[in-house]
Amino acid sequence: MLRKGYGLASVELGVPMRPDMVFEIASLTKQFTAAAVLLLQERGKLAVSDDITKYLPDYPTHGRTITIENLLSHTSGIPEVTSLPEWWPRHRDDLTPP
């Protein structure tokens, strides 16, 4: 595996990116997740039309059908985690070095 930093961590200060720097990648993971799901569908392991309770039987759907396609297209009705006030003070807890 390649371990290298590219570009600048701060353009303003001219700080180069190092491989040990931690930063949020946020929405960059969406296309990788979608590609992985579509590969699993292609291999017959799941279908985007599957109800999520097939894989998460205890998830509280409150009687609604939520499919994998709904998750991928952001039409599931599940609130975005960043809209929850308790998320903000804790979202970096696991990124802070001891």
Tell me, yes or no, if the pTM score tops 0.75: no
Choice among 27, 49, 73, 76 that is catalytic: 27
Say what the pLDDT of residue 26 is: 75
- Establish whether 27 is a catalytic residue: yes
Q: Which one is predicted more confidently, 71 or 24? A: 71
Greatest mean pLDDT among 16-20, 45-49, 92-96 lies in 45-49
Q: Coil, strand or helix: which one is 51? A: strand
Count other C-beta atoms under 10 Å from residue 50's C-beta. Answer: 13
Give the domain ranges of the chain. 25-95
pLDDT in tens, 40-92: 999 999 999 999 999 999 999 999 999 999 999 999 998 887 777 877 776 66
pLDDT category, 95, cuts 50, 70, 90?
Answer: low
38 residue type, one letter: L
Q: Give phi and psi for 31, each to the nearest 5.
A: -70, -30
Pairing assessment for the beta strands 8-10 and 15-16 based on DSSP bridges: antiparallel
- Look at the chain and count its residues: 98
Say what the pLDDT of residue 62 is: 92
